[in-house]
Amino acid sequence: MIRYLTAGESHGEALVGIVEGMPAGLELVTEDIDVHLARRWRGVGRGGRSKFETDNVHFYSGVRFSKTIGSPIAIRIDNAAYLKDRSGWSVIMATDGSGGGVEAITMPRPGHADLAGVQKYRFDDIRPVIERASARETAVRVACCSVARKLLKVFGIEVGSHVIQIGGVGWDTPQEYRGMVDSICEQGAEQLYKRADRSGVRILDDQLSERCIERIKKAKSDGDSLGGSYEVVVTGVPVGLGSYVQWDRRLDGQLAQAILSIQGQKAVEIGDGLMSAREPGSAIHDPIIRKDGIFSRTQNRAGGVEGGISNGMPIVIRGYMKPIPTMIKPLESVDIVTLKQQTTRYERSDVTSVPAASTVAEATIAFVIANALLEKLGGDSIDEIQERFDRLSTTVSG
């Protein structure tokens, strides 16, 4: 099984990660990770940091001669904001000293972890909460999970995503884009993310993209922020990942947790989950067929998971992100030191990061699928897992 840990603050010197449990023999170079880190920065509505922050990974262990060696993989991503010492971050985020002379932040932002964080950890300065709760952490998370993504690709499993809505502009129901997405994914889900990346907002329709961009520009001029929704699709997933025998082994539960673990995400659905609550079972459940000796379904409203187990259809997950809580337009709050009612201060941020969230979601979902695959197959090297995967492929036809 694979696990990973991340560390680092938004404006600290660097973000670091450890990926443990990756089988030996996986071909891996920094470019495999950097391509997805670059995608994370794309999208209309990103803030000023995207103009100077260039994320590149450095491997410090676990990789030798461009292949994993079975030991923990250590990853580092430097923070340009700190290294270029913009706004004196090397002083504000110093690991030594007493912090004397550094201004404390005492005005919590509604919708952020600020107030709950200082209450939990008993800080008298919100800065530590801002730094670790920040979505900047997702950079190193994308790096760690992209290693798992590379593992999946060996076995023909691909992950892609596209944006559905931003600020209420976009598609209203999955039926409006389902045929197009399914057609694109016939060649694998990577084609989906490559197609979506052509748009500044990662929406597959040109007219909707333009409308979203206008909506973002309007929100920026109003000093406001926008949320939205996106869809992640995984193709090539074999039957039998996950289980119904215990609550924590259910694949759909793990997928939902992966989405909600991303900063700012407030809801998730597997397949047509929301619609399933409104329509009768005769319209929702996927009829089973057998063609060329293989069991399949005539539709995929279950999103590729039934009873907590992958059923061989593409896995489909949708995430819903709230508007970013940092805005130019102030909101009412209370100073944690003076206890006076005041309006919030501005901390640099994006107007929207829904396109970025969709790429982060690809990574976190890839990690879940990779772990489920290893739980099913086991093995300490790519060659050993490949042998078991080949045997699995010959037993799932029914």
Is the per-residue pLDDT at 396 higher than 60? Answer: no
Give the pLDDT score at 1: 86
Please tell me what DSSP assigns to residue 369.
H
From the CB of residue 184, how many other CB atoms can be counted at a distance below 10 Å?
Answer: 22
Is the Cβ–Cβ distance between 196 and 203 less than 8 Å?
yes
Q: What is the pLDDT of residues 331-345, one digit of tens each?
A: 999 999 999 999 887
Q: What percent of the chain stands above pLDDT 70? A: 95
Residues 6+ apart with CB under 8 A from 392: 238, 240, 376, 377
How would residue 398 be classed by pLDDT, with cut points 50, 70 and 90?
very low
Beta strands in 271-369 (DSSP E): 288-291, 294-297, 305-306, 309-310, 315-321, 332-334, 341-343
Encoded tokens for 272: 């047509």
How would residue 52 be classed by pLDDT, with cut points 50, 70 and 90?
low
Where would I find the H helices in 105-137? 114-121, 127-133
Is the per-residue pLDDT at 51 higher than 60? Answer: no
Domains of the chain with bracketed CATH:
3-393 (3.60.150.10)
The Cα–Cα gap between 232 and 316 comes to 6
Lowest mean pLDDT among 62-76, 189-203, 273-287, 308-322: 273-287
pLDDT, mean of residues 196-222: 96
Q: What is the pLDDT of residues 81-134, one digit of tens each?
A: 777 766 789 999 999 999 999 999 999 999 999 999 999 999 999 999 999 999
Is the Cβ–Cβ distance between 296 and 237 less than 8 Å?
no
SS (H, E, C) 262-274: CCCEEEEEECCHH
Please tell me what DSSP assigns to residue 84.
T
pLDDT, mean of residues 44-67: 82
Give 143: exposed, middle or buried? Use CB within 10 Å, 0-12, 13-18, 19+: buried
The Cα–Cα gap between 361 and 283 comes to 29
How would residue 328 be classed by pLDDT, with cut points 50, 70 and 90?
confident
Compute CA distances 203 → 162, 175, 235, 348, whole Å: 6, 15, 20, 25
Give the pLDDT score at 395: 60
Strand partners, 24: 381
Give the pLDDT score at 69: 98
